[in-house]
Amino acid sequence: MTHLVLVRHGQSEWNKQNRFTGFHDVGLTAEGVKEAKKAGKLLAKEGIKFDIGFTSYQRRAIKTLWLALEAAEQFHIPVTKDWHLNERHYGALTGLNKQETRDKHGDEQVHIWRRSFDTPPPQLDMDHEYHPSKDAKYAHIDPTELPTGESLKMTCERVLPYFESQILPFLRASSNVVISAHGNSLRALMKKLFDVTDKDIPGFEFPTGNPLLIELEDGTLNIKSAAYLDKKRAKDLPAIPKPKTA
């Protein structure tokens, strides 16, 4: 049996403030730290020995993975960081309070920006303070390749090729993998793994700091079982798809 764990970062500073975060790099709150440590303890109880970890370029996901691996006494495993696992870029909404944005633009419009599959938010200009090119961690990337406002569809188009080229080979080799990422980059993975439709995928939520343990048939992406380890904070999961022959 191959194990894949998906964990959304613990509560972040802007989660707590109800602000659109996206690519902006914010830290964990004290509650987020607790969630990350608890995630590691829950993983330790499962007795899974991980072979490799993956995370984004964003500190809230990186620190969540560090704290979880430390609590699980697996701090030694190799970890790969890549910006393709970053959160969806919220464009010109970045930094705005979600309720204030609803008051200004209306609930329906904000719902479309947040929960439609293929409607992106307003784009950031290149000279905006939150444009990724202003952040040193992206200095090696052509600014024209960096997102300035993504729909969930665009996020999937960024995340899934990375998953297929860099992570899937480990799963095919029956390695146990842990991925610490973000609500929307994890939705992209859920869409692939559970074969969720474009219409349905925006409705699935990842609770912060609660590991989703997925058991796969060795050498395949056929899901044998899937469950959040913290039952009290679990969210609904898609139905497990029928096994595929390839």
pLDDT of residue 115: 86
Choose, from 3, 24, 84, 87, the residue flagged as catalytic: 87
Residue 156 domain-assigned (yes or no)? yes
Residues with Cβ within 8 Å of residue 150, at least 6 apart in sequence: 88, 89, 90, 91, 120, 121, 158
For 126, 131, 134, 162, 205, the CA distances from 139, given in Å and listed in that order, are 14, 12, 8, 20, 32
Structurally, the chain folds into a number of domains equal to 1
Which range of residues forms the domain containing residue 79?
A: 18-28+36-45+75-172+196-212+226-231
pLDDT-wise least confident of 94-108, 147-161, 162-176, 177-191: 94-108
Residue 126 domain-assigned (yes or no)? yes
163-185 residue pLDDT tens: 999 999 999 999 999 999 999 99
Q: What are the helix (H) ranges across the chain?
A: 13-16, 30-46, 59-71, 98-105, 107-115, 152-162, 168-172, 183-194
C-alpha to C-alpha distance for 56 and 87, rounded to whole angstroms: 8
Residues with Cβ within 8 Å of residue 245, at least 6 apart in sequence: none
pLDDT of residue 40: 98
Q: Specify the pairing of strand 2-8 against strand 212-216.
A: antiparallel
Give the mean pLDDT of 137-150. Answer: 94
CATH number for the domain harbouring residue 133:
3.40.50.1240
Residue 58 domain-assigned (yes or no)? no
CA 122 vs. chain centroid, Å, equals 22
Report which of 232, 226, 231, 206 is spatially closest to residue 214, judged by C-alpha positions: 226
pLDDT of residue 246: 53
Residue 142 domain-assigned (yes or no)? yes
Q: What does the DSSP assignment read for 158-212?
A: HHHHHIIIIIHHHHHTT--EEEEE-HHHHHHHHHHHHT--TTTGGG----BT--E
186-242 residue pLDDT tens: 999 999 999 999 999 999 999 999 999 999 999 999 999 999 999 999 999 999 999
- Phi, psi angle pair for 97, to nearest 5°: -70, 135
Residue 88 domain-assigned (yes or no)? yes
40-74 residue pLDDT tens: 999 999 999 999 999 999 999 999 999 999 999 99
Give the mean pLDDT of 138-150. Answer: 94
For 37, 119, 123, 149, 161, the CA distances from 20, given in Å and listed in that order, are 25, 16, 14, 12, 25
87 is catalytic: yes
Residue 150 domain-assigned (yes or no)? yes
3 is catalytic: no
pTM strictly above 0.85 = yes
Residue holding tokens 């030694």? 76
Q: State the Cα torsion 148-133-80-29 to the nearest 10°.
A: -80
17-30 residue pLDDT tens: 999 999 999 999 99
For 116, 119, 154, the CA distances from 113, given in Å and listed in that order, are 6, 6, 13
Residue 1 domain-assigned (yes or no)? no
Residue 13 domain-assigned (yes or no)? no
Q: Which value, in Å, is the radius of gyration of the alpha carbons in the chain?
A: 17
